Amino acid sequence: MEKSNYDFSVPNRQSYVAIIMILFKTINVVARQLFPVLVVILVGGSKQKGDYILWFVIAVSALTMIYSTINFFRTYFIVENDELILHTGIFSQKKISIPFSRIQTINFEQNIVHQFFSVSRIKVDTAGSEKNEFEFHALETVKAHALRDLVLSVKKEVEPSADATLNEETIIAPSYTKIMSLNPSDLLKVGLTENHFKSGGLIFLFFFWIYQNLQEVGVDVDEYSQEVPDWEWGIYSVLIIISLLLIISIVISLFRTLIKNYDLQFLRTARGFKIVSGLFTKREISALDHKIQHISWSDNLLKRLIGFKDLSLNQASGTELNTKQNIHIPGCSVHHIQSVVDTLFGTTDFESFVLQGIDRKYFERFALIISMILFIAGLLTYFIDQIDKMLPVLIVGIYFILTRYISYRKKSFGHNNELVFICGGIFGEKAEVLPMYKIQAVEIHQSPYQSKHQLCSLSLFTASGRIKIPYIKLSTGRTLSDTFIYKVESDKRMWM
């Protein structure tokens, strides 16, 4: 087996390609931070001042690069007694040791440069409060995979023999079975059914960003825009602009999907899942079964037509809640999701859940408040003779009330011996599945209004975030809370 060719018990350094990566990263960061300054220098302004700034930037970048390069030669790792030990630092040597059992996932990433040199960026994630995470800019891909297999295979054994040298017998190479993959036509469908409003918003943000940056460097955009001859705002031009925006949004959605999800493969490993995808930058993310806290899936109106759902596997996050720990797999069918649920939580029949809805006051209260705001706004605008300006506000208000009603109708929850199942959504369907024993804390909260009506909202805290069940009867909330807490306290399984 090729894997055992690598000896990790001696110090291993990153591939030399890492130096290129580090230099590239430095330039990238500097360029991004100083973009407005550089524009000022290039566009003009005080020549001498610009020179000073330029030299300063170059000096800082050069120093950073030299530092990083020296650091590269001082950084190496060893595998010893089922621990990954990393040595780093120039002036003060730092030694970070991570027991294999603490390692949450090892993820890989390959951009074009990486692919050219057949190296991978490797990132080791640990769960927990300590900042024990580290990443190598470049490690030979084969070596990186060998390291990952080593870490995972040792974890497989209940009592790892510390002194036995790891050879072929003890390394159980992970075998993969494919759950699903996206072929080009699926990819196209995923792209077409994305939320185009989001892409539209991105365009808007992009132009806003450019506008802001231009303002910062002293270009007065408003002045230019006045030079544009007055435009006749006929119904046709509005339609053209809207359809143009729509087309651009769809194109952007397609591109985003293509770049992110090209050649997506969703694989089942011995004890977890693996997702490989990406056009320019190839990402490989693994998630171990017991690290996955809860899973959810959702669709929208378009996706429902072709039966696609976005599945997301939510893992325990470190000190901060960052979305990076959530793995999204678009274009899953109901069967894929069912098979993921069955492998993770055992055979589950979602029809058998007794689901109950939330209290009607969830909608009524909201509708009342919004109507009151609309009423007051209406009165105010009436008195200042601007009542015609109320129409858009009214439309937005009615939209909010309607969506709240739909979400009230769709929200439902239930549980069996093992799982909590929460449904919801507005235009699409959204579902969350959480094993009870993964809950870390339960909170019942009541607003004054809820107290008056013997209602409450229930929050379930997990290592991967909070799940809320709003507006249920206080007695129901208490029973649920007691049930969940009982389940957590009587369950001895490892939850993280």
Partner 1 sequence: MEFNNNQMDTIAFPKAEDVVFEKLDPAYRKVSIYITAIFFVTALLVYLVIGIFIEKLFQFPLILIVLTGWAIVAALFIIVAIKSYDFEGFAVRDKDILYKSGIFFRSVLIIPFNRVQHCEIENGPIDRLFGLAELSLFTAGGSSSDLSIPGLTQDKAASLKNYITNRVAEDGEE
Residues that bind partner 1 (CB under 8 A): 127-129, 293, 316-317, 319-321, 417, 439-448, 451, 461-466, 478-479, 481-483, 485-486, 488-489, 492, 495-496
Cα 102 from Cα 176, distance rounded (Å): 23
> Which residue, among 436, 495, 445, has the nearest Cα to 474 in the 3D structure?
445
Using the minimum distance from each CB to partner 1, give the nearer residue, 168 or 443.
443
Phi, psi at residue 274, to the nearest 5°?
A: -140, 135
3-state secondary structure of 212: helix
Helix/strand/coil (H, E, C) string of 230-272?
A: CCCCCHHHHHHHHHHHHHHHHHHHHHHHHHHHCCCEEEECCCE
Residue 411 · residue 358 · CB < 8 Å: yes
- 294, 290, 279: which is closest to 327 by C-alpha? 294
**Closer to partner 1 by Cβ: residue 69 or 416:** 416
> Residue 453 — φ and ψ, nearest 5°?
-100, 15
CB of 463 vs partner 1, minimal distance in Å: 3
Structure tokens at 139: 């490690």
CA distances to 286, 365, 413, 464 from 292, rounded to whole Å, are 11, 36, 21, 8
Smallest distance, partner 1 to C-beta of residue 403, A: 24
Provide, rounded to whole angstroms, the least separation between the CB of residue 207 and partner 1: 34
Q: Listing from the earlier edge strand, what are the strands of the sheet with 412-415?
A: 326-332, 309-315, 292-298, 430-435, 419-424, 412-415, 356-357
- In the complex with partner 1, the residue whose CB is nearer, 97 or 440, is 440
Q: How far apart are CA 227 and CA 360, in angstroms?
A: 55
The residue among 198 and 466 lying less far from partner 1, judged by its C-beta, is 466
Q: Cβ closer to partner 1: 249 or 464?
A: 464
**Smallest separation (angstroms) from partner 1 to the CB of 104:** 11
Q: Supply angle C-alpha 17, 111, 6, rounded to 5.
A: 50
**Cβ at position 320, least distance to partner 1 in Å:** 7
Q: How far is CA 360 from the centre of its chain?
A: 33
Q: Are 428 and 300 in contact (CB under 8 A)?
A: yes
Residue closer to partner 1 by CB (options 199, 464) is: 464
Q: Which DSSP helix (H) or strand (E) runs through 372?
A: helix 361-383
C-beta of 332: minimal distance to partner 1 in Å? 25
> Strand 83-88 relative to strand 76-80: parallel, antiparallel, unpaired?
antiparallel
Q: Report the residue number, 4 or 440, with the smaller CB distance to partner 1.
A: 440
CB of 323 to partner 1, least distance (A): 12
DSSP state, residue 12: B
Backbone angles phi, psi at 418, to 5 degrees: -125, -40
Q: In terms of CB distance, is 170 or 446 closer to partner 1?
A: 446
**Which residue, 47 or 492, has its beta carbon nearer to partner 1?**
492
Nearer to partner 1 by Cβ, of 14 and 450: the residue is: 450
Q: How far is the CB of 354 from partner 1 (least distance, A)?
A: 13
Cα(485)–Cα(438) distance, integer angstroms? 10
Least separation in angstroms between residue 475's CB and partner 1 is 10
Whose tokens are 């330029």? That residue is: 54
Residue 355: what residue type?
L
Q: Report the C-alpha gap between 252 and 364 in whole angstroms.
A: 39
What is the closest distance, in whole angstroms, from the C-beta atom of residue 321 to partner 1 in the complex?
4
Asked if 118 and 97 count as a contact pair (C-beta separation under 8 A), the reply is no
Q: What's the min distance (Å) between Cβ of 37 and partner 1?
A: 31
Least distance from C-beta 302 to partner 1, angstroms? 32
Nearest alpha carbon to residue 362 among 406, 393, 421: 406
CB of 264 to partner 1, least distance (A): 27
Minimum CB distance to partner 1 smaller for 49 or for 445 = 445
Measure the CA–CA gap between 348 and 143, rounded to whole angstroms: 39
Nearer of residues 28 and 454 to partner 1, judged by Cβ: 454
8 A C-beta contact, residue 100 and residue 154: yes
Residue number, 174 or 477, with CB nearest to partner 1: 477
